[in-house]
Amino acid sequence: MEEAKALSQALGGPRILFKRDDLTGVGLGGNKVRKLEFIMARALAEGADTLIVCGGYQSNLARITAAMAKRAGLRVELVLGGVPGEPRLRQGNLLLDELMGASVTFVETVPRWDFGDSLEQVADKVRAQGHVPFIMPLGGSGPEGMAGYIFATLEMREQFAAQALKPDRLVVGIGSGGTYSGLSLGVLNTDIGYRLTGISVSRTRDYLLESIPLAARHGATELGLTNAPVAADLDIHDEYVGEGYGTLTPASAEAIRLVAQAEGVFLDPVYSGKAMAGLIGLIRRGHIGRDETVVFLHTGGQPALFAYAAESLLTGARP
Ligand SMILES: Cc1ncc(COP(=O)(O)O)c(C=O)c1O
């Protein structure tokens, strides 16, 4: 947990702290490490020796799963998808996947997150080789992934107590929604007491207001928790998505530059840059008060910076 004084000042308040989940320590870190601790435990308990994970070409989950699988002595199969015509740069996360020697299957996905039966096909290949596959959910966002963010809530509760902090709000990006779901279970089942604000990086608010309560209720049941959110509990914003998943917006490029220049901290173009664009936009709109104490959960993802054009990151030029 780090104070971001210069950023707070640049924005004219509120007090901002960064929860540095980009520094979670394995394979260049990110929020997925917390999810994977629990997902891998389930895979091992089920006797699996090969993790199958899907994501985009610049998937952070795939990169971190490959790194954690190496550390745990497991095999890994990456299934990376993109819409037709999408560039597939051997840079950023994909380069790191290659450096780790991960086995990669590329598929065209229409719509973007529809992997069809490609995961089952890879699982069949793994079985034919005499191994035991475990297919991870999209975004690592089942109940196990949520458990990671319930424990993160407990960790932050201790950090707040140690520093005599009483944050009013936590702001986080939303992709598949697992991190936000876990954090919302954390809010409703502990006395952490902050408001949880989610910034979508791809999906519509309407979609998330339906899918997150469903997923979180399932997570609560599996994890034996009493409380789960309904749509009215959620503060979710989709006005910072821009043209869609992975596309820079003028606001996200500005957010990346502002945080680098104020704090020497790097955000990423797909998730934390848009989440920060949301935090800045909501302060400017008055949705987040200038007298608040806000924790920004930095979920990582910086390797993807290197797969983006310098011009658009540095000047905000249209990519
Ligand atoms: C860097 C980064 N931040 C945020 C997220 C979003 O997390 P979730 O999918 O749990 O909403 C992801 C997921 O891919 C990510 O890689």
What are 62-95's pLDDT values in tens digits?
Answer: 999 999 999 999 999 999 999 999 989 999 999 9
Residue 192 belongs to domain spanning:
2-29+142-315
In the predicted model, is pLDDT for residue 305 greater than 80?
Answer: yes
pLDDT at 76: 98
Question: Which atom of ligand 1 is closest in space to residue 272's alpha carbon?
Answer: 3
Do 171 and 130 lie in one domain? The reply is: no
The string of DSSP codes covering 77-146 is EEEEEE-TT----SSHHHHHHHHTT-EEEEEE-SSTT--TTHHHHHHHHHHHTT--EEEPPGGG-SHHHH
Percent of the chain at pLDDT > 90 equals 96
pLDDT at 80: 98
pLDDT at 31: 98
Question: Which atom of ligand 1 is closest in space to residue 149's alpha carbon?
Answer: 10
pLDDT grade for 158, boundaries at 50, 70 and 90 = very high
Q: How far is the CA of 279 from the centre of ligand 1 (A)?
A: 16
Percent of the chain at pLDDT > 70 equals 99
Ligand 1 first shell, C-beta below 6 A:
30-32, 60-61, 139, 141, 173-180, 268, 271-272, 299-301
Q: How far is the CA of 133 from the centre of ligand 1 (A)?
A: 23
pLDDT tens, 172-231? 999 999 999 999 999 999 999 999 999 999 999 999 999 999 999 999 999 999 999 999
For position 69, which CATH number holds? 3.40.50.1100
Pocket test of ligand 1: the residue of 22, 23, 31 to mutate, having most ligand atoms within 8 Å of its CB, is 31
Do 61 and 153 lie in one domain? The reply is: no
Do 131 and 147 lie in one domain? The reply is: no
Q: How far is the CA of 175 from the centre of ligand 1 (A)?
A: 5
pLDDT grade for 317, boundaries at 50, 70 and 90 = confident
Do 275 and 218 lie in one domain? The reply is: yes
**CA-to-CA distance for 220 and 150, rounded, in angstroms?**
10
Gyration radius from the chain CA atoms: 19
59 is catalytic: yes
Which residue has the CA at smallest separation from atom 7 of ligand 1? 175
Which residue among 139, 164, 191 closes a domain?
Answer: 139
Q: Measuring CA to CA, which residue among 26, 32, 6, 31 is closest to residue 262? A: 6
pLDDT at 7: 98
Do 71 and 202 lie in one domain? The reply is: no
In the predicted model, is pLDDT for residue 318 greater than 90?
Answer: no
Which residue among 105, 139, 173 closes a domain?
Answer: 139
Do 135 and 147 lie in one domain? The reply is: no
Choice among 8, 59, 181, 252 that is catalytic = 59
Question: Which atom of ligand 1 is closest in space to residue 176's alpha carbon?
Answer: 9
Do 216 and 88 lie in one domain? The reply is: no
In the predicted model, is pLDDT for residue 46 greater than 90?
Answer: yes
Question: Which atom of ligand 1 is closest in space to residue 179's alpha carbon?
Answer: 10
pLDDT tens, 52-70? 999 999 999 999 999 999 9
Mean pLDDT (the chain, rounded):
96
**CA-to-CA distance for 180 and 172, rounded, in angstroms?**
7
Do 112 and 215 lie in one domain? The reply is: no
Q: How far is the CA of 297 from the centre of ligand 1 (A)?
A: 11
Pocket test of ligand 1: the residue of 112, 271, 296 to mutate, having most ligand atoms within 8 Å of its CB, is 271
Do 295 and 176 lie in one domain? The reply is: yes
**CA-to-CA distance for 40 and 3, rounded, in angstroms?**
32
Neighbours of 233 (CB within 10 A): 16
Question: Which atom of ligand 1 is closest in space to residue 55's alpha carbon?
Answer: 14
pLDDT at 245: 94
Q: How far is the CA of 59 from the centre of ligand 1 (A)?
A: 9
Which residue among 101, 116, 139 closes a domain?
Answer: 139
pLDDT at 272: 98
Q: How far is the CA of 171 from the centre of ligand 1 (A)?
A: 13
Do 221 and 296 lie in one domain? The reply is: yes
**CA-to-CA distance for 208 and 175, rounded, in angstroms?**
10
Do 176 and 304 lie in one domain? The reply is: yes
Do 153 and 274 lie in one domain? The reply is: yes
In the predicted model, is pLDDT for residue 319 greater than 70?
Answer: no
pLDDT grade for 316, boundaries at 50, 70 and 90 = confident
Which residue has the CA at smallest separation from atom 5 of ligand 1? 175
Report how many domains make up the chain: 2
Helix axes 60-72, 92-99, angle to 10 degrees: 20
Indicate the residue type of 95. L
Q: When comparing pLDDT for 319 and 260, which is higher?
A: 260
